[in-house]
Structure 1
């Protein structure tokens, strides 16, 4: 199985692609205020739920979703919601793709595409028009990570900041948070157990070959074990609505 197929199946029941509940996603999107005719881009859009919720909340906005492994389910849900004429899905590298400046830039859970939070904020800044808004979400440490957490995730201790470090990085790039959400343990459990569970369900009921079944089960077990054996209660996730304050837009 291709990696994109595994991720598509894993997110079947949790298409948000981050440990954020649907009501929290809508609350975060509700803090964005694009004017009619605004353009939005979602960098590393995955299943496209963040961008679609933005378009549903703001009927005068159009959007572009960028991901190097774009699942077919994103376009399908776009059709079901009547958004097909307002969104384009483009399979491309979000780190190098460029189509000018946007009024709103979304990037949630996709910092791996840019090489970390600092580079992600730089990419958001590059693609945001002066005075625009952004919504950025990324992993954080809830405290000093243990050796078991680092081993389970296979990352160094400086892979993620703590919450205060996240805010410092945001401000260093000329942004100011207007609203933020730190994912709860329940949101994390829902996300991780749904991720693994969707793969198990597909492997047992729908896998066309024994090899596909084995690959799906292996991916489910690996992800679940990493969460339960080390990352749980240590790996966090924060999402912020950001305003560009580096540019004085009052004049």
Structure 2
């Protein structure tokens, strides 16, 4: 079962592919888009939920999304058509790190996608190249809320704690001007939605060739979460401006 299909099914009831509530997403976008006429770029946009919400509430805003998943981009395009936003949304299927643009953007997003650039600091370098003077970056990144176990490191990969993460960001020439730390409730809702949506699809499609694998994937993910990184992992979404040119 390919990762695109897994992600598509798992995010059926939580289209924001990160552990943030609808209220938190709206508040961050309000801070990041004060004029409502900005140009927005999302590198690793998935199904485009951040872009769609930004455009839906701001008729003067235009957005560009970049992702490698055809399934996710098809979903973004379909939702944009249903909302009447297609004329203000452009989608590109390509690696986020390979994207080039004809002009800078007022807001550049990378939410939970630093792996696409090789880590936190390379991501910030890549986002800087697309940012207009005075613009904002909205960066979503995991961190260790408590010391991880070896199993957590195997599941999640190398992360820093929150103070170290922010220190790395500021040392790279960025200043946080707002932020959101996902609550336990938000993180639990995301994980229950991810595992539950995938498992429900498998139960609803017992004869599908991928049904058994989908259920096994949901079961394994739930075990890794409940028995492991639920106690250690956090997620921060930082609104940043350039400290230095």
Q: Aligning the two structures, in what range does the TM-score lie when normalised by the shorter sequence?
A: over 0.9
Query: Could you tell me how far apart the structure 1 residues matched to 2:156 and 2:146 are?
Result: 17
Q: Is the contact between residue 131 and residue 245 of structure 1 (CA under 8 Å) also seen in structure 2?
A: no
Query: Could you tell me how far apart the structure 2 residues matched to 1:193 and 1:97 are?
Result: 33
Kindly report which structure 2 residues correspond to 1:1-251, keeping only aligned pairs within 5 A, or say none. Answer: 1-33=1-33, 35=35, 37-70=37-70, 71=72, 72-100=74-102, 101-151=104-154, 153=155, 155=157, 159-206=158-205, 209=208, 211-247=209-245
Q: Is the contact between residue 55 and residue 62 of structure 1 (CA under 8 Å) also seen in structure 2?
A: yes
Deviates more, 1:71-80 or 1:84-93: 71-80
SS at match of 2:135: strand
1:36 CA displacement: 6.0
Gaps of 5+ in 1: none
Query: Could you tell me how far apart the structure 2 residues matched to 1:150 and 1:36 are?
Result: 40
Query: Could you tell me how far apart the structure 2 residues matched to 1:36 and 1:192 are?
Result: 32
TM-score in terms of structure 1 length: 0.90
Q: Is the contact between residue 34 and residue 104 of structure 1 (CA under 8 Å) also seen in structure 2?
A: no
TM-score in terms of structure 2 length: 0.93
Query: Could you tell me how far apart the structure 2 residues matched to 1:163 and 1:56 are?
Result: 32
Gaps of 5+ in 2: none
**Backbone CA RMSD of aligned residues:** 1.7
1:58 CA displacement: 2.6
SS at match of 1:246: coil
The 1:127–1:206 alpha-carbon spacing in structure 2 relative to 1, beyond 3 Å, is same
SS at match of 2:133: strand
